[in-house]
Structures are given as C-alpha cells and as structure tokens.
Chain A
Amino acid sequence: MHDHALAEQSDALRLRSLDDLNRLRKQILDKRDPDQPEIVVCHGTGCLANGSADVSAAIRSALDTSGIEAKVVPGIKTTGCQGFCSHGPLVVIRPRGIFYQKVKPKDAKEIIEKTIVQGDVVKRLLYKNPTDGEKILHEQDIPFYKRQTRVVLHNIGKIDPTDISDTIASGGYQALAKALTTMTPEQVVQEIETSGLRGRGGAGFPTGRKWRSALTAIEKKGRPVYVVVNGDEGDPGAFMDRTIMEGDPHAVLEGLILGAYALGANQGYLYVRAEYPLAIKHLTIAMEQARACGLLGDNILNSGFSFDARINRGAGAFVCGESTALFTSIEGNPGNPRPKYVRSVEEGLWGRPTVLNNVETWANIPLIVNKGGDWYAKIGVPHSTGTKVFSLVGKVNNVGLVEVPMGVPLSTIVEDIGGGVPGGAPFKAVQTGGPSGGCIPYELKDTPVDFDSLTKAGSMMGSGAMIVMDNRDCVVDVGRYFLRFLEEESCGKCMPCRLGLSRMREILDNFSEGKGSEKDIEDLLSLSKAIQDSALCALGSSAPNPVLTTLKYFKDEYLAHVTRQKCPAGVCKNLITYSIDPELCTGCTSCAKQCPVGCIEGEKKKTHAIDTGLCIRCGICMDTCKFNAVNVI
C-alpha cells in the first residue's frame, strides 16, 4: 500500500469525538446477530499450555466440513484466560452459555454436530460439581464463577483481546471519551479520590492521594511528567496482571491515558516482564489499533490532548518491580533501588514527577470514571473499596483466577470458590502477599480479605497471590523457599538484606537438616527485627514476614525439626524416609523403572520394597505410583 493510501485509510478510522465512538460502536453491534452462536475458546496462557490452540484449529476445520448453512455458521472467538485454568482447555458456546471443560481436539466434531447443529449437549465435557457429582450446564451456575464479582475481569472471556472492535462494542474507551469531552483533569482526579481506590501492586497506597501529590510536585517542578504501568509481576505464584494485560489490554491502556489526561502527561511507559511474551504482544497490538483509531497519539479524539506510550521489557529481576529500581531500569541501568527520602511522584523517571501504578490499578480507572467514584466506593469495605483479583494456587481444587469484593472472608475464596483442599481436609494455611507476606492459618479462615485485616493477621495483600497449603506442605521449607528467592533477587546493595537474609536462610537450612537449637529461633527473631528496621528498600524490610508469621502460628512444627529431628509434613529431605505399603502395592513395577538410583526391588506383581540406605529421596516413586502405595514419614 502506498503511504498516501495508508494515511487515507487510517484517517478514515480516526475517531474525532464521543459521537464518532458511539456511532462506531453501534455499527459494530448492528452487524452482530445476538442469536448467532459463538464458540469461545480460551487462549489464555494456561489453556494454551494445555493445547487449546489445537482445539480451536480443530473446531475451525470441523466447521468447514460440517456443511452448516452459511447464515448460521457460528463465529469462533479466542479470548484471554477465563480464570478456571485447572479445567482447561475451556470452550463456551454463546449465547446459551454452555460450558465445556478439558476439551480435546478430537471433541471438536462432536461439539459442532451435537451442540451447534442439533442443539444438544455433549455431557461428558460438562463440569461435574465435586460436592454432589451433578453435571453443570451453564457457565454462570458453576460455583467457581457464581460466587465471584467480576468487575475488572468483566471483559475477559468475552472479548478477543487482539480486536479493538470487540473492546469498543463492550464499552471500551467510553470513559476516555467521557473524560475528554465532559470532564476537567481535576474532576478525573476527584473521581479517583472519591472511589477510595488503593493501589493493587502491594502496599495499598491510595491512588487518588498519589495522583494528588504528583499534581503538587508538578506545581513545583513543572512538566514533563510521566505515567508508568508496573507490569513486572515478579511475585511468584501471581498471574492476575498477566491475565489482564493478555485478556483486556485496552483496559490498561485506557486507564493509563485517563491518568495521563488527569496529570497532563504526554508520555507513558509500560514495564512488562519479558517472561510474558503474550502480554507484550497483545499490548503492542492494542496500542497500534488505538493509535489508528485516534485513541492514542496526537490530538486524541480531537480534544487537543496528545499522549503516547511505549513498552519496556523487563529483563528478569524481581527487585525491578520496586518503583525506584523500575525507573533506573527503564533508563537503561542495573535496577538498583535508591533510598526513598525523595518520593517518586516528585523525582521518578529521569528525575521528573512520575506516577507509577500497578496493572490492575490502571485497569480499574476506566470503570471508576465511567460509573463514578461513589459507585466504586460502595463495593468492598470502607477502607478497602472495590474488588480484588486473586490468583488461587497450590493445594486447592479450583486453581485459577478469582475476583471478589474486598472484605470477603478468606474461607469464601478458598473453600466456596476454590472448592477447598483436594481430599477434603481443612487447609493448613494460606500464604498471601508473596515473599513480603505471611501465612494465615486455618483458625483464622474467617479473616476478611482486605488490606488492613491481612496486615493485622501478620500477612499482607501483596499483589494478590494466594497459595493454599495442606498438611503435606512444610512451613520451614516455605520459609526457606522465600528467603532463598529473595537472597537471589536482592540487589545486594545494603548489608541488612545481603547478609541478614543469608544468615536467616542458613539457620532454616540447618532446621531442615534436623540441626539447630531453640536458641536459633531467638536469633531468627532478632535478625528479622534488625532487617526490618534497617534495610534500604521494601524487598529487604518485608523479607522476614513469611518466617515471622509461620513462627507465630506454627511454632510446633519448627520445634519438631529442631528438637525431634522430624519434618511432620514429610518434606525436608534429610528428615524423611520413603517406604512402600505392602497392602497397597500391586507390583506394577513402575516405580522401580523410574527410580534413578535403582534402589527399589521386587518381582512383577509382587510387593516392592525400597532400600532406604541407597534412596536419595527424590520422591519420583511417590509421583509415579498410581496406587498411593508409597509413603513418606
């Protein structure tokens, strides 16, 4: 295409007003027939890993050969992660909302023939409620979805994130158009203040207050000013930011543009970790499409306001999620944090006033501008308004992404939505807040999940990872895990963090080997205090939290390691022994074939046994045995 033609074409796409946007929206909606079936296949990271790309391809080819009349041929749509990843690949048939799970390519033909052509249901693909064994037909009746309040995630699973017309049809960019045509920047800031929104990146700092102090800094220092998306999501076990960027990239972008309008910024940055290639791809596409439509770039919607943004890929350093480290990383340097006596809103990127917010925080902004701060403030609880997205992982039946109003009890998330621990036992603890957080024991299962209540319980909201642990998970091991993670990720600039964390980890290493004394527990406590008080950045100062909370709630388990040389959960390698239960062993020989040191003996169809002297405790036999015959104590 000639440059000229290209310019003309993109000119034709350009929206010049709220009316233009509404007209386009109506056009898109008018072209759609609400009764026409639509086959929605989840193309989130989880489902893709389970083969959903092959499923959608198979559905496409089944459609091609089905001989369905052209006018009733269903549309196929691929979406971002619908949250119920453990049951993927997911396929939903709309408008009926029939929900198929664990779909394989070979099911495609049957789905087309039965459900699309005959209107019947393929029963074996339905979700079975584990509590009563009933099969559930519709998406909205599945307990996992029924108890959620999907506000931030409302588009994900409905829109194709790579097609801006889907976003526009579902009301995307309405908030931006509203703000640009009917609100002053000051009014936007006020709406955010009214909403009570607190940042979703960890510490829960009120977003309105952050923007307000940036405005004060701008009064002093003038422009330029920058707006930045924190899409680093370094918290292991967390994937809500990933899901939002992949599944609804325009929501993040629209929030960012609104923030830029409120603060008068003309340039923004999206700092996204390089481990998230699909998020980077979808954000890039979204930005190109928004630019072509005149929603990003020069003179947005003909309002006279110009703003553009670019993506920076992170390079694999957890500490770069920290604000000052993130800025130095965007500037092209090693991501070392700096002391925070100067606040980022005053001196952020290139020493200029900068507002950094988390992905989920930005995605909330269009909702607030659209429906009003008052509407938002009514969701949740007084000091934690709105909803929060959690990634529920670990020993829980319904692993996935969950959105609930702030303040619901922990048990609602883990037991009602998550379906509890496999096997039905009560959970042992829920680790929240990642490496900066702590473990909440079962006795506190009614703790409301909001910023302040979690802190009171000794943990933290953090980015929203919830890791459910059962009695096969060892708290000493979890403490070691987080310490080792942070030890590796620490920038090493200040002593308390560099030396303190290593020393704490060494003590826990000893515990896991059955060495150590009660005196060491006291050392752990005093080291924790010293690190909390003197580390330069929050990576160090919050690092002792997982150890402190587990010491508080699970001291017995620590003592078992130290005084009795036992790991009650059966995790710490040096304190456990594997054995085979002769009652359960069928002599299938699988374990013996897999054992890397060949220390399992036994004849075919006869009981096998482990030579514990040779066993290296790799656990492979236990993972291999289909008959639960391998024990560990």
Chain B
Amino acid sequence: MSDNALYIDEMMDQYPAKPESLIVILQEIQNKYGFISGDAMRLASEHVHVPLTQAYAVATFYQSFRLDPVGEHEIKVCLGTACHLKGGQRLVEDLERRLHVESGGTTEDMRFTLNTVNCVGACALAPVVSVDNQYHPNATAKKMEKVLKSLTDPSLEEMEGTGNA
C-alpha cells in the first residue's frame, strides 16, 4: 500500500464507517494533501459506504473542497461585505495581474493558488488577505507585492502579517 493510502486508512479508522463521516474525512484528506485525489475519494467513499458519485456530489457542492492539486502557497482574498467595500475586488484583480492566473487557479509553476473567501471574521481589519493561513490586515496592492516578493525570496523582506488564521 502506498504511503498516502496508509495514512488515509489510518485516519479514517477514527471515524465511524457511516455516510455522516464523509465530509470530515474529506476535510482531513484535504488538510493533509491540499486537495482530494481520485484515489483518495474512492477510499473515502468505500469506507463510509456511499457510491463514488455521491462522494463527488458532496465534494463539488461545498466550496472548500478542491479536486486539483494546489500550489505551494495559497492566497485567499476576503470578499466579505466589509472587505468588498474597502477594495477586496481590486486586490483580487491586482493579484490576478501579478500572478498571471485567474482567481480559483494555480500558477503554471505550481507556486501560487489564488482564491477568494467570504468573510473570515476579521472585518475590522478589512480588506484582509490570507497567505498560507496567515492574515494580512488592511491589505493594499503594495503590501501584497512585498508579501509575494518575500515568498519568492524569503531573504528579501520580513513578512508583514504575523497573525495565525
């Protein structure tokens, strides 16, 4: 058995082999690998005894599930109401330009995945961008440029945001 299958098998044993465990198992798989591969999906659906199609129905219904590999760094721009009013959409467009990737996509070199989220509950600091689960409050195009630079070459800049998401 491959390492992945072994991990998934052991993880799944903690949850009852019932349909109600499907979502949490998919969440665990995604936490570990960043996305849910076809093989992982099959293992999960077998464990909880639901047809593979139903597992896909669940995975595609919920926005947080990804069926494709993600980049090394995940950038999420908040588009909740407060962030929208303070220019969240403009930040998305700016990042799209800088990374040459559409929102929802991953750069060709697999370094960055760009996504949007709905309100992470830090609206007081709008607009908020999270990079690898660290929040960057009061984000501007300029600040994000620095953050991107520091990710490309960590020796260049200190990261500005320090909060844990």
Contacts and interface: CB of A to CB of B under 8 A. Distances in A.
Interface string B3-24: 0000000000000001111111
Given A51-B163, A334-B57, A274 B64 contact: yes
Contact of A46 (B22, B62, B117, B122): B122
A485 B118 contact: yes
A22 interface: no
Contacts of A330: 20
A620 B94 contact: yes
B80 A237 contact: yes
Interface in A387-416: 391, 393-395, 399-400
A49 interface: yes
Interface in B133-147: 133, 135-137, 140-142
A318 B80 CA distance: 12
B162 interface: yes
B119 A236 contact: yes
B89 to A, nearest CB: 9
A335 interface: yes
Contact of A85 (B65, B97, B124): B124
Contact of B165 (A88, A277, A620): A277
Contacts of A393: 81-82, 123-124, 126
Given A312-B23, A335-B61, A239 B125 contact: no
Nearest to B60: A334
A168 to B, nearest CB: 27
A236 B97 CA distance: 26
Contacts of B161: 49, 51
Contacts of A278: 164
Interface residues of B, number: 54
B119 A317 contact: no
Contact of B125 (A50, A274, A331): A50
B51 interface: no
Contacts of A48: 135, 163-164
Contacts of B80: 236-237
Contact of A86 (B84, B87, B124): B124
A236 B126 CA distance: 12
Interface string A219-262: 00000000000000111111100110000000000000000000
Nearest to B141: A620
Interface string B75-88: 00001111011110
Label chain A's interface by main secondary structure: mixed
B52 interface: no
A619 B90 contact: yes
Contacts of B137: 46, 49-50
Interface string A609-630: 0000000001110011000000
A52 B81 CA distance: 25
B93 interface: yes
Contact of A315 (B20, B62, B123, B142): B62
A48 B163 CA distance: 5
A116 interface: no
Q: Which of B63, B79, B137 counts the most chain A CB atoms within 10 A? A: B137
B133 to A, nearest CB: 8
Interface stretch (A170-178, A200-208, A370-378, A465-473): A465-473
B148 to A, nearest CB: 13
B151 interface: no
B121 interface: yes
Interface string A35-70: 000000000011111111110000000000000000
B40 to A, nearest CB: 16
A274 B85 contact: no
A620 B90 contact: yes
B85 A85 contact: no
A91 to B, nearest CB: 16
A331 B94 contact: no
Nearest to B117: A275
A247 to B, nearest CB: 12
A318 B62 CA distance: 9
A235 B82 CA distance: 11
Contacts of A45: 120-122, 135, 163
Nearest to B135: A49
Nearest to B27: A313
B156 interface: no
Interface string A307-336: 000001101111000000000011111111
A199 to B, nearest CB: 20
A318 B54 CA distance: 21
Given A48-B164, A399-B124, A434 B81 contact: yes
A75 interface: no
A52 B125 CA distance: 14
**Sorted from nearest, which 10 A-B pairs have the closest CB atoms?**
A49-B163, A85-B124, A236-B80, A315-B62, A316-B64, A334-B61, A49-B135, A237-B81, A239-B121, A316-B63
Given A49-B137, A239-B121, 15 more contacts: A45-B120, A46-B125, A47-B163, A49-B122, A52-B163, A85-B125, A236-B80, A236-B82, A315-B23, A332-B20, A334-B58, A399-B123, A400-B124, A594-B141, A618-B141
Interface of A: 45-54, 85-86, 88, 233-239, 242-243, 274-278, 312-313, 315-318, 329-336, 391, 393-395, 399-400, 431, 434, 465, 467, 469, 473, 478, 481-482, 485, 489, 491, 594, 596, 618-620, 623-624
